[in-house]
Amino acid sequence: MKTMKSLLAATVLTSLATGAIAATDDNGTSDDVIPTGIRVEGGITGYGGAIQWKVNPYVGVSLGYNGGNISGSDDLNVKGSRYDQDVKNEVIYLNTEIHPWGGSKNNWSEAFYIAAGVASIDSKRELERSVEAGQSFSVDRISFTAISGVKVEGKLDYKKTLAPYVGLGYSPKLGKNWGVFAEGGAYYSRNPTVRLKASGQVADGRQAEFQQAVRNEAQYLAGKKKYAWTPVAKVGITIFW
C-alpha cells in the first residue's frame, strides 16, 4: 500500500510537471517535454536527485526525490531532553524556481533563485534516550533520579501528505555543462504523530509523575508549531545539456 501511494504521488507530480512544462519551438508551439538538466543532491532530508526543465531564463522546474536513513546522537532537544534520532525519509517534490536576474549576463547574479512547490513527504523518526542508574535527568523540565537504567523511546511520524515548500537557492554554472548548487528552505508538513514510552525506575516513589512527564513531552512534540515545519538544507552537482 505504501509503495502504491508513493507511485501515485510521483505520478501526480510528474503529470503536473509535464503538463506545465512543454518546450516550445521558434513559432511558440508545443514540442516534446525535454529535460534540460539533472542534479545529484544530498542533505538533511536524505540523498537523491532531480530532473530539471528550463521554461525560460527566469523560470525553471525541478522534479526530484530525496530519501534514506539519517542517524544522529543527541540531536533532538525537547525542553532540555536530548533524544537520539534514526530518521527514515521519503520526499518526492516538484518545485518552481524563479530566477529574478535570469536575464543577466552575470553568471553569479543569474544563479540566485527562489523556490516554491509541493512535496509528498513520508518521514519516520525513531527516538531514544537512555539514562544510567544513579544519574539525575529531566523530563518535561522536571528533575528525576534513575534507580535502575531508564529508557524513553518512541516514534515521531509525519504522515504521508502533500506539503507546500518555500526556499532560497544558489546554482552557479562552473563550466558549459555543469555547476553546483545549494538550497535551504522548509516544508509545512503539519504536526507529527508522537508516541513515547518509558521504562525503568526513578527514585522517591515518583514513578507516576515520571510517566506523566513523558506523556506531557509527547504532547508537546505533537503540538508545538515549530515541529510542523520540516527544514531543508542540501547541496549538489548539476549537469546541463
Three-state SS annotation for 139-189 = ECCEEEEECCCEEEEEEEEEEEEEEEEEEEEECCECCCCEEEEEEEEEEEC
Report the chain's mean pLDDT, rounded to a whole number.
Answer: 86
**What's the length of the chain?**
241
What pLDDT does 73 receive?
A: 67
Summarised one tens digit per residue, pLDDT across range 196-211 is 999 999 999 999 999 9
Candidates 188, 190, 186; CA nearest to 234 is: 186
Most confident of 7-21, 69-83, 119-133: 119-133
Q: What is the pTM of this model?
A: 0.79
Say yes or no to pLDDT of 51 above 50.
yes
Place of cell 523540565: 141
Q: What is the mean pLDDT of residues 78-92?
A: 90
| Residues 33 and 53: beta-carbon distance below 8 Å | yes
Burial of 89 (0-12, 13-18, 19+ CB in 10 A): buried
CB atoms within 10 A of CB 100: 12
Q: What is the mean pLDDT of residues 185-197?
A: 94
Say yes or no to pLDDT of 136 above 90.
yes
CA distances from 154 to 140, 191, 194 (A): 15, 16, 7
CA–CA separation, 193 vs 177, rounded Å?
A: 44
Could you give phi then psi for residue 178, rounded to 5 degrees?
A: -155, 160
Q: Running DSSP on this structure, what letter comes out for residue 239?
A: E
CA–CA separation, 159 vs 35, rounded Å?
A: 31
